[in-house]
Amino acid sequence: MAMKERLEALKNEALAQLQEVDSPETLNDLRVKYLGKKGALTEILRGMGSLSAEERPVIGQVGNEVRAAIESVIEVKQNAFQKAETEKRLQAEKVDVTLPGRPMSQGGVHPLNKVIQDIEEVFIGMGYNISEGPEVETDYYNFEALNLPKDHPARDMQDTFYITEELLMRTQTSPVQMRTMQSMDGESPVKIICPGKVYRRDDDDATHSFQFNQIEGLVIGENIRMSDLKGTLQQFVQEMFGANTQIRLRPSFFPFTEPSAEVDVTCVKCGGSGCRMCKQTGWLEILGCGMVHPKVLEAGGYDSEKFTGFAFGMGVERIAILKYGIDDIRHFYNSDMAFLKQFSRI
């Protein structure tokens, strides 16, 4: 059979089979069979080398016409399959606009975030700025610069997660205070609070967690006194727990402050008359504080003969527990929706 007749026969065969196609997969198989690199059309056209110079353009034109005819039918079929698939998907995804609307569930602020916001608002109202720093800290900023050398026994109370011998997950937000002090020129006053997550190797129970939130405060300037610290904390607790709340300071020890004190507030449940919550004492411990140790001032670049300051630190979870009467710190972290919904409108 002459090459021209073979091409015409191939076209008729291909068009006949394409008319019977019922799926995109079969269509693709036929495209490869007739028009692929090893397809029937290519096989025929490879024989053009044996033709005379006069015959080649004629057969080449016929070959192009055959290819165009087959591609045209394939394109029509592809468009038909795509349209059918689109219609099918639209029907499957069809929305019945006559159905009644579904109410959208409304979230709320997590109680810990709400307490952090409340504390920040109180101190911003007193002229404090907010400072933040890295949660992965160096041993120097977390301990040594805060008057806690490597052999200091107080480190045992703040056992943490070490990454290397000199890198660790911070046990307090005090490193932010030191970084802020060192960023000053040794003459500028400081008035900041430092909120953030901290980490210690505690076993999780009703009152302890290996991760918790802390807010520390720092004030440095000339003639800063212990009375300024007490007045600041008195205003803070009255803003957080009510105008009738009182505080008392008990002597304590912290390596980075001297003198140091633990701060108690009148029991939020009994108002100080004595109850089971406060163990009949009328007081609840809330935070630690003190005057900044001279060695810490010097490490921060300040002249301890000219400047004084005070610092305090509190656990956000502790404040939230007292404020909302929560009996287990783990409630804050276990994503119990029944628990969290109680605070959706606070």
Run of H or E residues at 118: helix 111-125
DSSP class of 165: S
Token pair for residue 6? 């073979």
Q: Is residue 189 reached through a cis peptide bond, with omega within 30 degrees of 0 on the bond before it?
A: no
What is the Cα–Cα distance from 166 to 152, expressed in whole angstroms?
16
Check: CB of residue 119 under 8 Å from CB of residue 315: no
Among candidates 266, 263, 272, which has minimal Cα distance to 313?
Answer: 263
What is the Cα–Cα distance from 138 to 167, expressed in whole angstroms?
5
User: Which amino acid type is present at position 40?
Assistant: A
Handedness of CA 71, 73, 79, 81 (dihedral sign): negative
Check: CB of residue 148 under 8 Å from CB of residue 230: no
Check: CB of residue 325 under 8 Å from CB of residue 267: no
User: Which amino acid type is present at position 77?
Assistant: K
Instruction: Using DSSP, state whether 334 is helix, strand or coil.
Output: coil
Instruction: Give the end-to-end CA distance of the chain in Å, rounded to a whole number.
Output: 91
Using left for φ > 0, alpha for ψ between -120 and 50, and beta otherwise, residue 213 falls in beta
What is the Cα–Cα distance from 97 to 123, expressed in whole angstroms?
51
CA atoms within 13 A on the CB side of 332: 28
CB atoms within 10 A of CB 228: 16
Q: Is 55 annotated as a binding residue?
A: no
Which residues sit in the known binding site for Mg(2+)? Answer: 258
Which residues sit in the known binding site? Answer: 258
